[in-house]
Structures are given as structure tokens and as C-alpha cells.
Amino acid sequence: MPQDHYVARTYLRAFTDPNNSDRIHAYRKSDSSYFSPSPAAICKTLDWDQNPKYLSPPDALGRWLKIFEPHWAAAVARLFGTRHLSAADKSIIAGYWACLSTCTPAWQRVATRIQQAELEDTYLTRFIEYAQAHPEEYPEAAAYIPLVKDGSLKAEIDKHYPKAVVTTQLLEHQWCLYHQEWNIIWNETDELFLTSDNPSCGDYQYGSPMHPARYLPLTPRLALWISVELDNLPKMAPDTPPMKMSLGRKATTRFVRDMNRLVIQSAENVVLASKPKPYISACVRKYKGWRVRVTEVVRIPTADGHYEVTQIRASPQSSGANIAKFG
């Protein structure tokens, strides 16, 4: 069975050591170890691009990646070399960014957690009520429903299902990213941008608690930061230019350090660097228990129910999401 990269080698190669293009400096959060693999040896797992149980074709994710991965490095190189982002290159970068934002093991875990909570809090209760009201349709319900209620029997979301859902949404996700105002961050400081096995991060520090920004390092000297606006996106049509312009920004040392900390906190397990620095190991040890999690669910009552706002951010291990109600 093939090993598929959930973070592409063409992305990872930008973060290899400038003195050894086949090696990247890597730090594991699980055991605080250091190693120096090739980009081909990391960020991959068996049959990641396949989802035969829920998708047709079963390699829908792999087909999406084949559209964008081969052109990624050239698009980033043109942006870095010319300091100009064409509409075509923005579309390429947005296409793979959409995948990095939803189709990594970290985001599969988070999506499964969200859908599991919805199953337990809403849909399972509805099913029990329906099954009890229609015993002719579910003649065995009387035997297993008490087990569900007392916790002896548990319904669990198949982790491949949420991954299938986000795969079917990649086009909409790309379209949304493509039409945002991108802040293109040029890093001329003494600190280099880091990346990880989960490189697309939600930034609540420079964003806001209810409206996080999106951050993605492209190279040790180049990154993207956007504040996503979902309203008034144009209808999908070929050759549509981006709705908003992109802006060039110069990174401060503080910004680079803040984003590197965010990358380490958001990494699922492996932090990656083009050059080894002592502070990286120390920071990886400090944040070894941090991962992207559902940390807070805000429920705002309405006349016929409630709006639910889910906060997903890097945080230390906890027992579960906090739920806040307003009104």
C-alpha cells in the first residue's frame, strides 16, 4: 500500500537546510527528540489520498492534489522572486492551502471531534426519540437503547467520514481563500519562519477571539496571513479575478517569533526548520502537550434555537470544550 504525503514534498523542500537540500531539521513533540529526515520521509501515512468508503472516485483527494501540487513550488518561487502575485498563482496557492487547512491528520482529528459531539448532543437523542416512537421500524431498539443511555454502547463517527466531507468542500474553500486580501509577509529579520506537519494555523493573537486569522509559512523568508471574510463572495466562474488585492508586508522580529510559537503549538507532532536553533528544542518541550483542539463552544439563543460558534485553536490538553451561553 502506498504512503501518501499529507504535507507535500514540494512544500517541505522550501524548508530544507540551505547547506543540504535533502535534509530538514525536525523536532518531535511526543518525545522532544531531534532528527534530520529528507522531505520524502516525513508527513506521510498509508493511503492518505484514498477514501473508498465515502467518496467516488475513492482518490478524489489525490486528484485534487494533482491539480495544484505540481505547480506549487514554481508559484511560490515566482512570488518570492518577482514580489508579484498573479491571479493564476494565487489560485494555485489557494488550492493547496485549502487542503493544508482541512486535510491533514490534525484537522481530521478536530473534524471528527466536532462531528462526534454533534452526534452525541443532537442526532443520537433525535434517533432515540424516533426509534421509540416507531418500534415497528426498529424492533430491536428496546434492547439496545438502554445500553446507549447508560454508556455501555457508544456510537462513534468513522474518522474517514469527516475527511470525506472536507474533501468535497475543497473547491468552495479554495474559492473563499482566492478572493481574500492576502498579506504577503516578507521576512528579512534574523529569525526564520518555521513550519510543521500541520502548517496552516488559526491565529487568534493578531486576529480576534471570534474572528481568527489564517497563517501559512511558505518558505523561511515568506509567509501568508489573511483575515477571512465570508460575505459577498462572487459566484464561481472561470477566469474570475480575485475580488480583493493582496498587500506586501515586512515582518518584525516579534511577529516571526509569535508565528513560530503558533506553529509549534499547532503542530500535531513534528516541527520543521531549515536551520537548527537551540530555542526550537526548548519551545517544542514547552508546548509538547499542545495541539489544535475545539476549546470553546459559544451558543447564542435565537427565537427558534441557537447559533453555535465553535472556537478551534492551539491549546494544551484539556477534558473537552467549554460551553458558554449568552442571553
pLDDT in tens, 256-292: 999 999 999 999 999 999 999 999 999 999 999 999 9
Q: Rounded to whole angstroms, what are the CA distances from 276 to 17, 80, 192, 253, 265?
A: 9, 23, 10, 18, 18
- Which of 99-103, 151-155, 176-180, 222-226 is least confident? 151-155
Does the pLDDT of residue 327 top 60, yes or no? no
d(CA 85, CA 147): 58
- The DSSP secondary-structure symbol of 105 reads H
The more confident residue out of 217 and 151 is 217
Does the pLDDT of residue 321 top 60, yes or no? no
**How many separate domains does the chain show?**
1
User: Average pLDDT of 40-64?
Assistant: 97
Rounded to the nearest integer, the mean pLDDT of the chain is 92
Q: Rounded to whole angstroms, what are the CA distances from 253 to 100, 189, 192, 237, 260?
A: 25, 6, 9, 40, 11
- Which of 5-19, 107-121, 140-154, 175-189 is least confident? 140-154
230-244, pLDDT tens digit by residue?
A: 889 999 999 999 999
What percentage of the chain's residues is helix, strand, coil (to nearest 5)?
A: 40, 25, 35
User: Average pLDDT of 42-70?
Assistant: 97
Confidence band of 326 (pLDDT split at 50, 70, 90): very low
Domain that holds residue 16: 3-325
Phi then psi dihedrals of residue 247, to 5 deg: -125, 145
Cβ(271)–Cβ(245) under 8 Å? no
In three-state secondary structure terms, 79 is helix
- Looking at residue 302, its pLDDT comes to 80
Does the pLDDT of residue 89 top 60, yes or no? yes
- Looking at residue 305, its pLDDT comes to 75
In three-state secondary structure terms, 15 is helix
- Which residues, 6+ apart, have CB-to-CB distance to 208 below 8 Å? none
User: Average pLDDT of 294-310?
Assistant: 75
d(CA 48, CA 3): 7
Does the pLDDT of residue 322 top 70, yes or no? no
Confidence band of 143 (pLDDT split at 50, 70, 90): confident
Confidence band of 106 (pLDDT split at 50, 70, 90): very high
Cβ(185)–Cβ(224) under 8 Å? yes
- Looking at residue 304, its pLDDT comes to 78
